[in-house]
Structure 1
């Protein structure tokens, strides 16, 4: 290097001339802000393991793992709600942000950032698989999700949803049964139109089928209940067919479901969960709108809470009237409400 810059060309272009002169070495090293000293300082930093980039990343990872572990310990086996959002990073790679909301042992509602997961796309199946993986790695369970957990804390509701899942599996267990369901529905619709019981028009009386519910998508539970109520005669017809001519396991399942269909438990929970999930489903659809105003959203939540409170406080008689009407329509014996009622578990009420 030439001029007043530190270092001599003797050290870089013309061999190591004058290497034994101390002043030449000092000139090459330069002052405290010289390139030489800065390079030496950076080299020393690099050799210090605690100040390396990898060490910083490892330290950050350990902190994150401890935070996640503390959150999981705080939740324990209790229920929590899940908040999920998806977006893309600066490299246009899809990612999912997970936040957990729960109540700690002091009754304080907490909302904690749980992590960011990269996903190949933002379809519901991919996001569900990613959530399953996160839950598995952190010893959390889908059954702890608050709406699933609250439902399963009530024996009757838990039994109802188990039976509902079994109905979908048995009725949709083969193409023949699905075809039988559709054909039976078509015949009933034609007969009802002929009797003047159904109106005709565009979009009316379309073919439908039983919808399978998913634990993390409670709107699908509402659709399952709705489809069962609409296809109740056809479902009973298919179950009667299975009961008469199938494997022993399927016959026993069909027999058990048909027996459960005739209980007050089933009829009551069918209509109760329909009413509850109908209200929450309407709210959910409105909140998913991207142009939803925060004041309008707050008002919707308040109205939904008021409607649920009204259902709890004064809606029993109206609900029971719907249960009896449904039973009468489908030729199911109505219980005498003045007599003692024995539950499926043998308890008198």
Structure 2
């Protein structure tokens, strides 16, 4: 928080109006996010646009789908904006299409105006018959699919890293940790908590709200 805002909210404002409660802050962020999405939709209106989608697990192992819009704004500048993130029950192409269609309908984004789809190379995304790109091509034949360049770069780096044994071992160990079972992750969290307790006891780490 900036010094100017801190002086107003934490020093001069009444205690009940400091807006530092986590729930209040989340509500404020939610209002701001909705306003940004509204402004983006107003700028797109009837313009053509592209959509980038990716799916991944969050820290609690819940599946999520991120949606990014790419369009030319009112100043004729190519713009790429993070638009939404949705929790999904599974990552099948049909379910991803349903969730994405809900976003389109809710924000009045016309599917027929899509001119590009950018996904990774997973079969549920790129499959020519039943993948997410194929399902939307049936609704909009001009929504051409492009394999995400960031994912291409990742695949290139993975391939190159295989020739460097030290790097390959490091990422192999990290992959084992990240994709471990729930029991293994819980054990890792316990080990981290114990380490923090030891550091606090020895004075190597300070305590405080949200410090650890």
TM-score (norm 2): 0.51
Structure 2 regions of 5+ residues with no counterpart? 1-13, 118-127, 158-212
Match for residue 217 of structure 1? 133
Q: Among 58, 61, 65, which residue is 1:92 paired with?
A: 61
Query: Within the alignment, does 1:138 sit opposite 2:54 as a pair?
Result: no
8 Å CA contact 2:48–2:115 kept in 1: the answer is: yes
Q: Among 50, 54, 59, which residue is 2:23 paired with?
A: 54
Q: Max radius of gyration: which structure? A: 1
Query: Within the alignment, does 1:293 sit opposite 2:156 as a pair?
Result: yes
8 Å CA contact 2:50–2:71 kept in 1: the answer is: yes
- The 3 A distance-change label for structure 1 pair 123 and 64 is same
SS in 2 for 1:54: helix
After TM superposition, list the pairs within 5 Å mapping 1:94-113 onto structure 2. 94-113=63-82
Higher helix fraction: Structure 1 or Structure 2?
1
Question: In structure 1, how many angstroms separate the alpha carbons of the residues matched to 2:84 and 2:69?
Answer: 10
SS in 1 for 2:53: strand
Match for residue 68 of structure 1? 37
Question: In structure 2, how many angstroms separate the alpha carbons of the residues matched to 1:289 and 1:107?
Answer: 28
8 Å CA contact 1:213–1:221 kept in 2: the answer is: no
Structure 1 regions of 5+ residues with no counterpart? 1-43, 149-211, 223-272, 295-349
Higher strand fraction: Structure 1 or Structure 2?
2
Match for residue 161 of structure 1? none
How big is each residue's C-alpha offset from its partner over 1:25-73, in whole Å with a ceiling of 9 and x where there is no partner? xxxxxxxxxxxxxxxxxxx84x447333322121111100111011111
How big is each residue's C-alpha offset from its partner over 1:122-150, in whole Å with a ceiling of 9 and x where there is no partner? 111111111101111111121111159xx
